Structure 1
Amino acid sequence: MSIKEEIIDFARSIGIEYIGFCSANFSNDFINRLSHNLKMKYNCEFQINDIEKRINIKDYMEDAKTFISIALPYKTIEIDKSKPYFSKASLGKDYHIVLKQKLKLIEEFLQNNYNAKTISFVDTGPFHDREIAYMCGIGFYGKNSTIITEKYGSFVFLGEILTDLYIEPSTPKKSLCGSCTICIKSCPMGAIEEEYFINSNKCLSYITQKKGDLTAIEQEKMGLRIYGCDTCQDVCPFNIKAQKSNILDFLPEEWNININEEDFLKMSNSQFNKTFRSTSSGWRGKKILQRNLIIAMGNSKNKKYTSLLKNISMDNSFEGYIKNSLKKLEGEE
């Protein structure tokens, strides 16, 4: 077998269905897209604006030759969106940990069998996970800028390895979106301002994570979301028929899908660390998630939350959000 085939076989043996390879460089088209994002001010605070940092692979490995991309499916259940909820990507064990474990096994395989240099990334470096996955043939770009795979749609987590080992590149896949614009029309905030480009500052996934005061329209559009947003993915025809993941790590715990609102708002730091800290939403901290829950309770218009919000003891930073939610619950808005 070729090196490529041996790596694919090993990946299969550790439960990785999607793996691909590409040259360790970025195209002019990608660089132009990064420049367009800057020009249009589409990047949010979590994204790197320095284009050189996003493409300068030599800073990490002088003799780098190949990117290896993997994708792990994460959709395990259908979410009940009639009550406050977390997005699919934030259920179960933190994907950073799960992907890093898989990538570490591949790194060890490359080091032990080919004496290769390796560095792995899962949202931890400046490189663009989706672009690398696209170049590696993992899937095609959807108009909402997600990578869509044949079997699991866009419900996949991405990670990559940079290595000095030359591996025959995979073939990128052309978009199959055609004339479909369902994701663009469905975005609650109109964040998909151009096909294949997202204004991240308007994306509800970002809005549920950002600090500072949220505007009235942001709070309204958040609906019942506590963290993340699945809307543009849920309406995608490729996702409607997507298979579910069999990765047990991504199965949610009871407290993550049937949220006890009172317990959540009264939660100690210790309790938070034992529960939500282990998920991908936990990095944002307890206060941001509590803020979002308070907003979701008001947006629900469910009067059962009125007494809880009137009597809950929270610090002053929550006062405005509690008042706004109570107005909605009491029919003053």
Structure 2
Amino acid sequence: MNYAQLKQDIIAYSKEIGIDKIGFTSASAFDEMKSRLIRQQELGYQSGFEEKDIEKRVHPDLIFDKPKSIIAIALAYPSKMKDAPLSKKGARRGLFARASWGQDYHHVLRDKLAQLEAYIIERIPEAKCKSMVDTGELVDRAVAERAGIGWSGKNCAIITPEFGSYVYLGEMITNLPLEPDEPTEEGCGDCNICVDACPTGALIQGGQLDAQKCIAFLTQTKGFLPDEFRSKLGNRIYGCDTCQLVCPKNKKMDFHLHEEFEPDPEIAKPLLQPLLQLSNREFKETYGHVAGSWRGKKPIQRNAIIALAHYKEEGAVPDLVQLMKEDPRPVIRGTAAWAIGKIGTGEGKEALESQLVKEKDPEVIEEIQKGLSFFEEINA
């Protein structure tokens, strides 16, 4: 078999099916990544969403029988939204991060990889392949970096020369001996803009992220958001784009190559108050197709409440009071109470004082007290 020709044929086919960039690397261990992952674990910087077994994350041969190559792919997504609606008083809007615009990228990339896999097996029936997108054992960025897709930026994203960091990544392990590509030359240099711009200081230094402080991670948690991060959330209801938006390598990078990734403005930048009342079915019907829905409606609703507090949207107080009194979920009741205090209306203060004597959950009581303390600060 002429594997050099097969590689070129795979590249050509990848372009036919809409893969924007493809690269190849060996299936050898990711030894450098192992030491970094161990250090992240020791420092408590992991998100908890990762594969727990570090050995599986760095040794392809633990998850695939006799691997020889890994094929990495990248698909570009838009950075700008056409006809984005304005957020204004009485109609405040939240924002999903760009990586959650359009259809869930996991499904789109898995489909591309499935097509690529079918093509390979048609050519080489004895070929074996295993594809993964984001939730697999391997570290997508490590594979993409070694396969020449781009370099690992100081913002912990893969930065490609062609599309900046606005790319989704996926990979396929195979038993075919395909010639590896050369890694891309590092391009951040002395630039430290992303590290300096991170709203919560989650970028400890170039290439090192404390996921526990990262807004992109925090918006996906289901509990009470720690106090120190609430004022940093702004109107983000899923994800965070700051470290990408400030990156000089992303200047003028905006690609609309895939219809699937085009955002619906009313979904990508939704009105906040209607989000508060959505049933599970309504949430699934409206947002179930986007990546930002994977944790369910609770984190989105909690974040929407914090965003309304950020705007000090007085028109939302009746809705927030209703949530504080009636919602069965302590996190939602408590966050609503905190937001009522943050907005600071007389109506809100009365509702907080009334609810304080009725509430039974200790965490919610604490949030009501936080809400009331804002009024004390105003009068101090």
TM-score range, shorter chain: over 0.9
* 1:323 aligns to 2:326 (yes or no): no
CA deviation string 1:142-171 (max 9, x = no partner): 101110011211111100001001111111
The equivalent of 1:99 in structure 2 is 109
The farther-off stretch of 267-276 and 71-80 is 71-80
* 1:213 aligns to 2:216 (yes or no): no
Query: Distance between the aligned counterparts of 2:151 and 2:183, measured in 1?
Result: 7
Question: Which of 133, 155, 178 is matched with 1:122 structurally?
Answer: 133
Question: Which of 12, 15, 32 is matched with 1:12 structurally?
Answer: 15
Q: CA deviation at 1:48?
A: 3.1
Query: Contact between 2:94 and 2:236, CA under 8 Å: does it hold in 1?
Result: yes
The equivalent of 2:163 in structure 1 is 152
Q: Which amino acid aligns with 2:45?
A: Y
The equivalent of 1:270 in structure 2 is 281
Alignment of 1:1-333 (within 5 A): 2-75=5-78, 77-78=80-81, 83-115=93-125, 116-312=127-323, 313-317=326-330, 318-330=332-344, 332=374
Q: CA deviation at 1:76?
A: 5.0
Q: CA deviation at 1:81?
A: 8.7
Query: Distance between the aligned counterparts of 1:126 and 1:147, measured in 2?
Result: 18
Query: Contact between 1:140 and 1:175, CA under 8 Å: does it hold in 2?
Result: yes
The alignment-based identity, stated in percent, is 37
Query: Distance between the aligned counterparts of 1:76 and 1:147, measured in 2?
Result: 15
Query: Distance between the aligned counterparts of 1:321 and 1:135, measured in 2?
Result: 44
Q: CA deviation at 1:56?
A: 2.7
Q: Which amino acid aligns with 1:72?
A: L
Q: CA deviation at 1:320?
A: 1.3
TM-score normalised over the length of structure 2: 0.83
Q: Which amino acid aligns with 2:53?
A: D
Query: Contact between 1:134 and 1:141, CA under 8 Å: does it hold in 2?
Result: yes
The farther-off stretch of 195-204 and 44-53 is 44-53
Query: Contact between 2:233 and 2:307, CA under 8 Å: does it hold in 1?
Result: yes
Q: Which runs of 5+ in 1 are unaligned?
A: none
Query: Contact between 1:43 and 1:49, CA under 8 Å: does it hold in 2?
Result: no
Query: Distance between the aligned counterparts of 2:35 and 2:138, measured in 1?
Result: 15
CA deviation string 1:59-92 (max 9, x = no partner): 3222110100001111252467953111111111
Q: CA deviation at 1:330?
A: 1.7
Query: Contact between 2:85 and 2:265, CA under 8 Å: does it hold in 1?
Result: no
> SS of the residue aligned with 2:37?
helix
Query: Distance between the aligned counterparts of 2:67 and 2:23, measured in 1?
Result: 16
Q: Which amino acid aligns with 2:144?
A: A
Q: Which runs of 5+ in 2 are unaligned?
A: 88-92, 346-373
Query: Contact between 1:99 and 1:159, CA under 8 Å: does it hold in 2?
Result: yes
Q: CA deviation at 1:258?
A: 4.2
Q: What count of residue pairs does the alignment treat as equivalent?
A: 333
Q: Which amino acid aligns with 1:303?
A: E
Q: Which amino acid aligns with 2:260?
A: D
